[in-house]
Structure 1
Amino acid sequence: MSRPLEAVIRLDNLRHNYHVGRALAGGKALAVVKANAYGHGAVQCAAALPDADGFAVACIEEAIELRDAGVTQPILLLEGVFEASELELAERHKLWLVVHHEGQLAMIEAASPKTPYTIWLKMDSGMHRAGFAPSEYRAAHRRLAASGKVESITMMSHFARADEPASQATSEQIAVFQDTVEGLPGDISLANSAGLIAWPAARAGWGRAGIMLYGASPMPADSPAIDLKPVMQLKSKVFAVRELAEGEPIGYGASFHTPRPTRVGVVACGYADGYPRLASTGSPVAIDGVRTRIIGRVSMDMLTIDLTDLPEAGVGSGVELWGDTVSVNEVAAHAGTIAYELLCNVKRAAFSYR
């Protein structure tokens, strides 16, 4: 028997979530499949979305992987090109390009494409990570339009705090963006997943469905519910059971002592598989659909769970690390991180697609 750790990817749920995002956007959305579709398998996820308006990836290598797999929809390079030599590849594979700094703009102006580029011109409306400052943006737009190398320009920006409903930062970014682009020709794209979910003023033009595509909301746990379905179910099995008396330590560092006589299940999953080490005692898991908790520290290849109140559970019982009963957001909160990181980090699991 092989190690029972499995990541089940439910492609029907992926399709459902994409359509939720596209409906929020008003009918036009990119499916963001960078970082191997947030750990879900970029080729498989893109193939499961034949009606997607387009895809977004971080870099040209990710885009070419999709093209080689037969994906024909538009693909946007969210980071643009890193050097001028990539422009020929981008043209050959009919890729859309983000332009977010002067060097990329100069590359476009100096290029000699056989067919004009589709450009997404990025503004730094307040995140201060990438993009032209508002004071520089209209000039960059004029230069692209005057270059003769560009078919269309979509004006875009990215939110820093859209997952914080009480913050005014997103409203301020929207206002900066709208004031700057007023009167400029071209489509727009503001809304990432949090923008689509929580900020109606950001939904015009192209939406960009990222984490919501995979069924995890970026919003705080007390936010209004949205109809998303988890795509990845990470599951394993109990492969050993221990009976411990009250007061016994469990695991590295003896960080947990049994408060009562305790049945302990040992599960084939650990931090080398991408399960977060910091999600230790108290982190939820589900045994055959019934919730219980991790006890003790997560080890490299295994973790221990409390079976005391689950007398029917034992060797061979199915364990959901996250998925339908246990949200990946819950596990992330116990680990002091975000669902994005957990999903991207899954390793050594057998992936299956349904």
Structure 2
Amino acid sequence: MTRPTQAIIDLQALRYNYALARQRHGGRALAVLKANAYGHGATQCARALSGLADGFAVAFVEEAVSLRKAGIGAPILLLEGAFGADDLDLAHANGLWVVVHQESQLRMIEAARHLRDLNVWLKVNSGMGRAGFAPGDIAAAYARLKANGRVSELTLMTHFARADEPDSDATAQQTRVFDAATAGLPGDRSLCNSAGLLQWECARRDWGRPGILLYGADPMPKGDSGLKPVMTLCSEIFAVRELRPGDVLGYGGTFIAKQPTRVGIVAIGYADGYPRTAPTGTPVRVDGQPACTVGRVSMDMLTVDITHLPTAGIGSAVELWGNQVDVNVVARAAGTIPYELLCNVKRVRFSYVDRENASPGYPAPASQQAPDLVR
């Protein structure tokens, strides 16, 4: 019998979220697939979005080449740009678009006399303080790229630091800095990440770059953007323990029963990507009913309180996050962000389904599962 732990990826929800992002942004949108599509499977997500997405974005060239080898022919942007001349050659050979955010990358292109028709995205540091040319240097960098004969398309971009803070003026200020720095320079613009395109109408330009929102984790504090969860992380109870008052449970003895307590042992742990820092009381669903974790999360298993669920027992379905348990809530309980939780999922079976054709609940039909997927 196969271990019952799996991540079900709802490709219809992925397409829905992309369409919502594109509609909200009003312009074209690159679906961000870096970090293996935030842990969801970059190739499968790219194929699901083919014909819908205007293009894709990844962090570095190896991520893009994997998509090309899988037959993805749409535009792909390298968000970190090229790390060296070999990277630049590989990007050119695969028809990739490259971000230029520092002087060394600019010089790299100027030295590549054998290359032509590069599609470059020139990045302005408008306030993130991380990567990008200073606003006062962007016009000179733009002129050098235009003059060197290697670049056929040039897009101007920036990245927001606090777009998920609706009460802060930081994003509006970054937008003003970007607009002033790029005034009079021809070409498309790209400003909005997920939070930017959901919240900041003033920043919507030619290209959006939705990332985390594609996967249904709302980056905004209220969580009311209408997104659909894409990953359901689920498992089953495989053993039950009856605790008496005073009995201690798990590593460190952090949980001591105050009353008779039924505990379900679930086949998932931090080695699968569930956060070890999730405390007692973190919400789960057992057979569709609200429940919570108790005690410390172990490497291969965790424990849940099923005292109030007399019919729950061995074989009961447990959702750790998904349609019934908001991954944002789990992340807050564990003291982290949903990005980290989703990217960390591993060692579980991945199943790719279309919710339009799937029956309610989980697990997915065996014909739609991909237990042998190499990740």
TM-based fold match above 0.5 = yes
What pairs up with 1:74-113 in 2 under 5 angstroms? 74-113=75-114
1:310-325 aligned at under 5 Å gives the runs: 310-325=309-324
Question: Aligned to 1:48, what secondary structure does the other structure show?
Answer: helix
1:308 aligns with 2:294: no
Q: Report how far residue 86 of structure 1 moved.
A: 1.6
Q: Is the 8 A contact 1:293 1:305 kept in 2?
A: yes
Distance 2:246 2:205 in 1: 59
Residue 203 (structure 1) shift: 1.3
Kindly indicate whether the alpha-carbon contact (under 8 Å) linking 1:100 and 1:122 is maintained by their aligned counterparts in 2.
Answer: yes
Structure 1 residue 112: Cα displacement: 2.4
Which residue number in structure 2 is paired with residue 243 of structure 1?
A: 242
Corresponding position of 1:233:
232
Residue type of the alignment partner of 1:44: Q
Partner of 1:343: 342
SS at match of 1:79: coil
Show CA shifts across 1:43-81 (max 9, x none).
000000112100000000000000000001100000000
Structure 1 position 141, deviation (Å): 0.6
1:130-185 CA-to-partner distances (Å, cap 9, x unmatched) read 00010111110111011111111110000111111111111111110011111110
Which residue of structure 1 lines up, in the alignment, with residue 163 of structure 2?
162
Any runs of at least 4 consecutive aligned residues in structure 1 with deviations exceeding 3 A, and if so which? none
Aligned residue-pair number? 352
Conserved 8 A contact 2:291-2:304: yes
Structure 1 Cα separation of the partners of residues 29 and 114 of structure 2: 27
Secondary structure of the structure 1 residue equivalent to 2:89: helix
Distance 1:115 1:150 in 2: 6
Q: Report SS of the residue matched to 2:209.
A: strand
Between 1:117-126 and 1:256-265, the stretch displaced more is 256-265
- For 1:260 and 1:202, how far apart are their aligned partners in 2? 55
Say whether 1:45 aligns with 2:54: no
Looking at structure 2, the residues matched to 300 and 150 of structure 1 have their Cα atoms a distance apart, in angstroms, of 50
User: Does the CA contact (< 8 Å) of 1:295 and 1:305 recur in 2?
Assistant: yes
Describe the SS at the equivalent of 1:121: strand
Residues 85-164 of structure 1: matches in 2 within 5 Å? 85-164=86-165
| Contiguous gaps of at least 5 residues in structure 1 | none
Contact 1:91–1:113 under 8 Å retained in 2: no
Tell me the distance in 2 between the aligned counterparts of 1:277 and 1:62: 28
RMSD: 0.9
In the alignment, residue 282 of structure 1 is paired with which amino acid?
G
The percent of aligned pairs where both chains have the same amino acid is 61
SS in 2 for 1:85: helix
Q: Distance in 2 between matches of 1:161 and 1:30?
A: 20
Q: Distance in 2 between matches of 1:156 and 1:192?
A: 11
Contact preservation (8 Å) 1:262, 1:308: yes
CA distance in 2, matches of 1:152, 1:212: 28
SS at match of 1:76: strand
Within 1, Cα distance between the matches of 2:62 and 2:315? 41
Tell me, what secondary structure is at the counterpart of 2:85? coil
Does the CA-based 8 Å contact 1:31-1:210 persist in structure 2?
Answer: yes
Q: Which residue does 2:13 correspond to in 1? A: 13
Which residue of the partner structure matches residue 57 of structure 1?
A: 58
Range moving further from structure 2, 57-66 or 248-257: 248-257
Secondary structure, aligned partner of 1:209: coil
What corresponds to 1:26 in structure 2?
26
Quick check: 1:333 aligned with 2:332?
yes
Give 1:113 deviation, angstroms: 4.0
Partners in 2 of 1:30 and 1:143 — Cα distance?
A: 26
C-alpha change, 1:8 and 1:335, in structure 2 (3 Å) is same
